[in-house]
Amino acid sequence: MDGHGETAEQPPWYAGPQTFLRAPLVGFDAIRPGTTVISGAPHSLRSRFGERGGPRGIREGSLALAERLGNARREGFVDVSTGKRLFLPSKTRLVDVGDLNVYPSDVMRTTEGIAGGVAEVVRRGGFSVCLGGDHYVGYPSCLGYTRGLSERAPHARVGYIHIDGHLDFADTSGSYGKYNNGTNARRISELPAVVPSSMVFIGIQGPCFLEQVESLRRLGATIFTSEDVEVLGPAEVGRRAGDLAIKGCDHIYISFDIDVIDAGFFDGTGSVTMGAMTAQTLFKILEPLSRYPIGSMDFVETAPPLDPSGRSPLLATQALLKILTPRIFEVE
């Protein structure tokens, strides 16, 4: 509890504690089945400096939106296009467990720190949303997800959707070795619960490493390039990806790299892509996708220190909410 406890009104965005959307900061034991659980994994090694600042920055950036949501608690929202109404439930469906254990000079210990935290969330029935950090975080997060899931459902099979400008499917990345943000999807493909033929990559852009593309084809995975999105239409890509990922699987894990959009529209990210999709297009992919049985997710590569305009974390929050909305709101 903080000093704002006495007032029924929302504090201004620049006051009060910095949890995601002002969700309660709790320990693992407060997680109930179905709760959406935010955690942070401030790890980055490769790319440009800055992804370590992701979890902290996104939480702070989410407060401008939280200021608005605070009022919606009473009034509710409406989507003027569809007429659908959104209400914040009286009992919160969203909590924040803070940052998981990271060790700047020890990648494998960091891997266990993140995986252990996510596994604990999933074991208790939570929907885990792990905020990176660079895209390597996707691997320990998915590792933790499959560990936690295996305790609740030992035979559950998991499909995988990789939203990103890049494949991240190298077996090893030059001097960075086997555990970094160029190998995360490869490491995930090696997890026992993950079904390689249900791995779907959306938004891939530019020339790709030949070896990675051929390995994915051998595994039966699917790639939707930026150009495919333009040809098929984003909503159709969202639906096809969902169908392919859930096929033969019980749940989908989503690994969401914000650099899937053109870096011209997003300052604060490490791996810059030019000529990629717009936010408008991305949102049309996410809309149908958010209705599939997603089990857990990560949200990576937001690098607030690289964006002196300060917009990136506010934009990142809006992108993440496109997936979280059905989970944290009541929709009529």
What are the strands, taking DSSP E only, across 154-193?
Answer: 158-163
Give φ, ψ of 42 to 5 degrees.
Answer: -75, 70
Which one, of 300, 325, 292, lies nearest residue 198 by Cα? 292
Among 150, 240, 279, 327, contact with a second copy (rule: CB under 8 A): 279
Taking the complex as a whole, how short is the minimal distance between the CB of residue 36 and a second copy, in angstroms? 16
34 binds a second copy (CB under 8 A): no
Does residue 323 belong to the site contacting a second copy (CB under 8 A)? no
156 binds a second copy (CB under 8 A): no
Distances (CA, A) of 214 to 138, 220, 255: 22, 10, 21
Q: Would you give the binding string for a second copy spanning residues 203-242, x where CB under 8 A is met? A: -x-xxxxxx-xx--------x-x-xx--------------
Whole-angstrom CA distances from 17 to 13, 60, 329 are 10, 9, 22
Stretch near a second copy under the rule CB under 8 A, chosen from 7-15, 157-165, 236-244, 245-253: 7-15
Residue 85 interacting with a second copy (CB under 8 A):
yes
* Count of residues that interact with a second copy, criterion CB under 8 A: 114
**Closest approach of a second copy to the CB of residue 243, in Å:** 20
Strand partners, 256: 163, 299
Please tell me the distance from the alpha carbon of residue 164 to that of residue 261, in angstroms, as a whole number. 8
Q: Which is nearer to a second copy, 222 or 246 (CB)?
A: 222
Between vectors from CA 295 to CA 293 and to CA 301, what angle results, nearest 5°?
115
Q: Does 6 bind a second copy (CB under 8 A)?
A: yes
Residue 59: count of CB within 10 angstroms of its CB: 26
Q: Are 300 and 133 in contact (CB under 8 A)?
A: yes
Q: Does position 100 bind a second copy by CB under 8 A?
A: yes
Residue 242 CB, shortest distance to a second copy, in Å, is: 20
Nearer to a second copy, 246 or 307 (CB): 307
Taking the complex as a whole, how short is the minimal distance between the CB of residue 142 and a second copy, in angstroms? Answer: 17
